[in-house]
Amino acid sequence: MTKNATINGSIKKGPIMFIMIMGAFLATFNQTIMSVAIPELMNDFDILASTAQWLTTGYMLVNGVLIPITAFLMQRFTTRQLFQSSMIIFLIGTIVSAIAANFPVLLTGRLIQAAGAGIIMPLLMNVVLSLFPPEKRGSAMGMVGLAIIFAPAIGPTLTGYVLENFPWQTMFYGMIPFTVIIIICGQIYLKNVSETIRTKVDFISVILSTIGFGALLYGFSVAGNEGWSSAIVIVSLIAGVLSLGLFTWRQLVSANPLLDLRAFKYNMFSLTTIINIGVTMMMYADMMLLPLYLQNARGFTALESGLLMLPGALLMGLLSPAVGKLFDRFGAKWLSIIGIAIIIITTFSFIDLTDSTSYTYLILMSTGRRIGMALFIMPIQTAGLNQLPSRLNAHGTAISNTIRQVAGAVGTSLLVTIMTNSTKTHLQDAMAGGASGATQEHMLMEASIQGINDAYFVVLIIGFISLLLAFFIKRVEQAAEEYSSKKESKENLTKMRDALD
């Protein structure tokens, strides 16, 4: 028996999971608060929207660059070391953001926050894979769903309330005591749950990964504002693709890759990763398009926009643990099919929005969408990770989270572009038709609603493709451990002997 197995048999899983889920909840919640706060920050700092957008774009870039490196970090450092370090970095960023007197300082604080938050979610998923056997991971992942699903859904609601009653700095000051409590509890209760391997970092891979994912995410992020034909967008995407091509080649030929892409040779991991791309696009689309419709086209406040999504958020949080237990019993296939079908049915309601669509109707349809999301988001991710052998757990979680980050950026950029171009086309048609009695302001509102409808139609197409792929999901056993070379086998045998001594 290895040292890791001995530890896992004696540690208390409850406190470890609770502390790490709270850390992930806080980090994920923090990622979403800026979307509602940006209009007020633009006024306070007297900056343009394109400048203010860096509070979310920069956060996402740091996350996207850091996540691929987490596989190495999770193998090199203990669970407590990595979690505590990430939470301390997050705390420093939160304090800097809270005391920021100008935009550059606030942006610096957000980037520091992102450096800590980017590690937490892959680490949490890796801990679940280390602590629980495949047949019990669904229930554990259901609890993790509270962080992944519930936190970003309540973020806009709580932020809207804070902004209407308090200064924007309150958002950050409010997170400081919770972060400190989590750090203290982590120091007391957190134990290491996986083996550490003293491997050397491949700096060339780190550089290629940073340039590749950073340039790709940046290109897609600014495409919505700058346009796809912009020189900076084209250069960023080309640099990103070339760097990622070299990064991929280096990982496949390396004996100790920074991010082991051999995980893709497992068919169910590959399939669920592809489905996850569509799922993430659908989730990010709703979080972006619905507030735009409510606040820009219909004139609802940020608080009213957030409150509309609150019932669905609460249901998602309540359903996640139950869905996890259903996954353990029945697998991911039919949960995914039913969940995606619900998404498709409710999305039909969002491709025909008007300037008089009732608030109650929107609440019901939005809540229905989130019920569908709760049924398939975590089961799909868990089904793929369950197939991987234990030695690929850290790499699998890093790959999965990296794909989600890139898919979110690509999906958001794609849908913003579709919405913007469609709005221009509908406005030109309306002005050319000379709608009787309609002001230019009214025509612009109608055109923007039609643009959002067209973007939701693309979401519908993504949903149908995801549904088709979901029928190929199968319940598979965890793959047996394989060693790529005699050298690797000898190294692992030596580690096992050292653990027993």
Concatenated DSSP letters of 437-501: T--HHHHHHHHHHHHHHHHHHHHHHHHHHHHHHHTT----PPPPP--SSHHHHHHHHHHHHHHH-
pLDDT for residue 381: 83
pLDDT of residue 72: 82
Which residue is listed with tokens 């359903």?
319
Shared-domain flag, residues 306 and 430? yes
Helix segments in 292-392, DSSP class H:
302-330, 333-347, 359-387
In terms of pLDDT, which residue wins out, 90 or 149?
Answer: 90
Radius of gyration of the chain (CA): 23
Q: Examine the domain organization and report whether 172 and 270 are in the same domain.
A: yes
Cβ atoms < 10 Å from Cβ of 428: 12
In terms of domains, do 229 and 295 share one?
A: no
Mean pLDDT to the nearest integer, 78-82: 88
Percent of the chain with pLDDT over 70: 90
Which residues, 6 or more positions from 224, have their beta carbon under 8 angstroms from its beta carbon?
412, 413, 416, 417, 420
Across residues 231-242, what is the average pLDDT?
92
User: Cα(468)–Cα(275) distance, rounded to whole angstroms?
Assistant: 10
The type of residue at 307 is L
Of 222, 241, 257, the residue that ends a domain is 257
pLDDT at 5: 39
Mean pLDDT over the full length of the chain: 83
pLDDT category, 438, cuts 50, 70, 90? low
Residue 141 has pLDDT above 60, yes or no: yes
Residue partners of 57: CB distance under 8 A and separation at least 6: 218, 221, 222
Confidence of residue 437 (pLDDT cuts 50, 70, 90): low
Q: What distances in angstroms separate CA 248 from CA 188, 212, 243, 261, one per listed residue?
A: 40, 10, 9, 7
Instruction: Give the span between the Cα atoms of 202 and 199, in whole angstroms.
Output: 9
Q: What pLDDT is stored for residue 112 in this prediction?
A: 94
- Looking at the structure, do residues 246 and 377 belong to the same domain, yes or no? no
By the 10 Å C-beta count (0-12 exposed, 13-18 middle, 19+ buried), 127 is classed as buried
Q: Is the sign of the CA dihedral 97, 102, 105, 110 positive or negative? A: positive
| Residue 493 pLDDT | 46
Report the pLDDT value the prediction gives residue 482, as an integer from 0 to 100. 60
Query: Which of 48-52, 231-235, 480-484, 494-498 is the most confident on average?
Result: 231-235
Torsion of CA 225, 227, 231, 235, to 10 degrees: 80
What is the maximal distance between C-alpha atoms in the chain? 87
Choose one of 226, 242, 257: the last residue of a domain: 257
Question: What's the pTM?
Answer: 0.77
| Same domain? 396 vs 488 | yes
pLDDT at 98 (0 to 100): 94
Identify whether residues 151 and 232 lie together within a single domain. Answer: no
Q: Which of 212, 229, 257 is the last residue of a domain?
A: 257
**DSSP state, 101?**
-
Same domain for 166 and 212, yes or no, is no
- List the one residue out of 22, 28, 30, 29 whose CA is nearest residue 182: 22
Residue 175 confidence (pLDDT) above 50: yes
| 107 alpha carbon, distance to own chain's centre | 20
Q: Of 24, 238, 4, 268, which is closest to residue 146 (Cα–Cα)?
A: 24
Convert the pLDDT of each residue in 466-490 to its tens digit.
Answer: 999 999 998 887 776 665 444 444 4
Q: What is the pLDDT of residue 304?
A: 82
pLDDT greater than 80 at residue 342: yes
Q: pLDDT of 267-311, one tens digit each?
A: 999 999 999 998 888 877 777 788 778 877 888 877 787 788 788
Tokens 């996986």 locate to: 194
Same domain, 279 and 316: yes
Specify the pLDDT at position 49. Answer: 65
**Would you state the pLDDT for residue 463?**
92
pLDDT attached to residue 200: 77
339: Cβ contacts below 8 Å, ≥ 6 apart: 371, 372, 373, 374, 375, 376, 377, 379
Give how many domains the chain has, as a whole number: 2
In a shared domain, residues 151 and 252? no
Asked if residue 177 and residue 48 are part of one domain, the reply reads yes
If asked whether residues 324 and 429 sit together in one domain, one would say: yes
Same domain, 331 and 358: yes
The winner for highest mean pLDDT among 202-206, 334-338, 392-396, 418-422 is 334-338
Q: How far apart are the first and last CA of the chain?
A: 11
Q: Confidence class of residue 50 from pLDDT cuts 50, 70 and 90?
A: low
**Which of 7-16, 191-200, 426-435 comes out lowest in average pLDDT?**
7-16
CA–CA separation, 164 and 89 (whole Å)? 29
Choose the weakest-confidence range: 286-300, 319-333, 335-349, 371-385: 286-300
Mean pLDDT of 333-359: 90
* pLDDT value for 481: 62
* CATH assignment at residue 196: 1.20.1250.20
Q: Which domain holds residue 317?
A: 3-201+258-500
The reported pLDDT for the residue numbered 10 is 59
Q: Is the pLDDT of residue 491 over 60?
A: no
Tell me which of 473 and 226 has the higher pLDDT.
473
Per-residue pLDDT band at 434 (split at 50, 70, 90):
low
Say which residue, 205 or 177, is predicted with more confidence: 177
